[in-house]
Amino acid sequence: MKAFPNPDSLYRFCDKHRRETNRDEAGLKQGDGQSDRTLKAAQQSALRTIATERAGLEALAQAIEGDLGPIFGACIDLVARLKGRVIITGMGKSGHIGKKIAATFASTGTPAFFVHPSEASHGDLGMITTDDVVIALSWSGETRELGDIIDYATRFNVPLIAVTSVASSTLAKAADLPLVLPQAKEACPNGQAPTTSSLMILALGDALAMAMLESRGFTAADFRVFHPGGKLGASLKFVRDVMRTGDAVPLVAEGTLMSEAILVMSKKGVGSVGVLGASGALVGIATDGDLRRHMSDDLMTRRVDDIMTRTPKVIRTDALVSEAMEVMDTRRIAVLFAVEGGRPVGVVHMLDLLNIGVV
């Protein structure tokens, strides 16, 4: 920190700082007009890009409703009958899109992986078997690096699906099932950078993967097996995997004095206590909110039955954590008791979901 030997030097420092600050602010104000023009130009560019790409997606949707539909359906039938895997390949931007498509297939129950065309020419063709299907991506259909994969698929009768925009291209002619996309304008002002075309290929890949998902009857529980990590994986866990159990569950019997119920509530640390009937079933729940609403001089001598909420909202132990989160959010509650046969076997607190990354 700068040292000031006397008040005058401190004053001079502050005055200099004030003048520099004013000068900087004046410069910013002078530049506001330029900033506004830059912002407007950027917004207009973004809107043009989105409008152009949206037109490409609309053209793709119309094509699937029309002539492309039967071939799309045949692709789904082919993949559904596969004994092997879906092999995606492509160069450049199509290659990047292909990796994402392969990942989407794999995470939704259809075994798939990406093979780079150049690596395929140097040994990775051995990864492709006659039980597989190759989906080759090339907007022009003339990507030279795909030549060896096309020849290999033809020679060994590996089914080949082409994704291209040119029906007369080398790739389309070699394919068993050519998915010929409609021509579309690129969003790039120079008409060169793959933008609309890449998005259309990606959308078609997603459409294929989702159609396969529905064909297989793939469920959220199935997805959980392939996606245990992250927020999505956490939300697909079962309540029984995250609930507090045993002695950590705050429970008291009907007729318990509030003085004792409050001790249990405080000890367990979830801000509530479940109330058990004679049969062991959950008949109510008392929360710290109930305590505040019923606060009185005689609260400690009253019974928990007097303040509890009867027929509380509960959840099954085999329900997904995402369902528990939805119930808490909808009912604006922080605690859910998990039950089996009407008996409480666990409890879930909002903080538990926060700790595993769901919230």
Question: Alpha-carbon distance 270 to 193, whole Å?
Answer: 56
CA 289 vs. chain centroid, Å, equals: 34
Considering the four listed CATH numbers 3.10.580.10, 3.40.50.2300, 3.30.460.80, 3.40.50.300, the one that applies to the domain covering 239-355 is: 3.10.580.10
Question: Alpha-carbon distance 18 to 314, whole Å?
Answer: 62
Coil, strand, or helix at residue 272?
strand
Name the pLDDT band for 1 (thresholds 50, 70, 90): very low
The better pLDDT of the pair 217, 91 is held by 91
Let me know: does 286 contact 272? Beta carbons within 8 Å.
Answer: yes
Bridge partners, 347 (sequence order):
244, 337
Phi, psi of 263, deg, nearest 5: -65, -45
Residue 333 confidence (pLDDT) = 87
Residue 357 confidence (pLDDT) = 73
Residue 225 confidence (pLDDT) = 67
Q: 56-218 belongs to which CATH class?
A: alpha beta
pLDDT tens string 207-237: 999 999 999 887 776 666 666 666 666 667 8
Residue 350 confidence (pLDDT) = 86
Cite the DSSP H helix spans in 217-287: 220-226, 230-235, 239-242, 258-268
Residue 287 confidence (pLDDT) = 87
Let me know: does 79 contact 102? Beta carbons within 8 Å.
Answer: no
Q: What is the mean pLDDT of the chain?
A: 88
Q: List, as one string, the DSSP characters of 144-193.
A: GGGHHHHHHHHHTT--EEEEES-TTSHHHHH-SEEEEPPP---SSTTS-S
Of 41-45, 136-140, 314-318, 334-338, give the range with the top mean pLDDT: 136-140
Tell which residue, 246, 252, 290, 243, has the closest CA to residue 271. Answer: 290
**Does pLDDT of 356 surpass 90?**
no
What's the start-to-end Cα distance of the chain, in Å?
42
**Does pLDDT of 6 surpass 80?**
no
pLDDT tens string 264-299: 988 988 889 999 999 999 999 998 888 888 888 888
Of 34-38, 113-117, 225-229, 262-266, give the range with the top mean pLDDT: 113-117
**Does pLDDT of 18 surpass 70?**
no
Residue 8 confidence (pLDDT) = 55
**Does pLDDT of 7 surpass 70?**
no
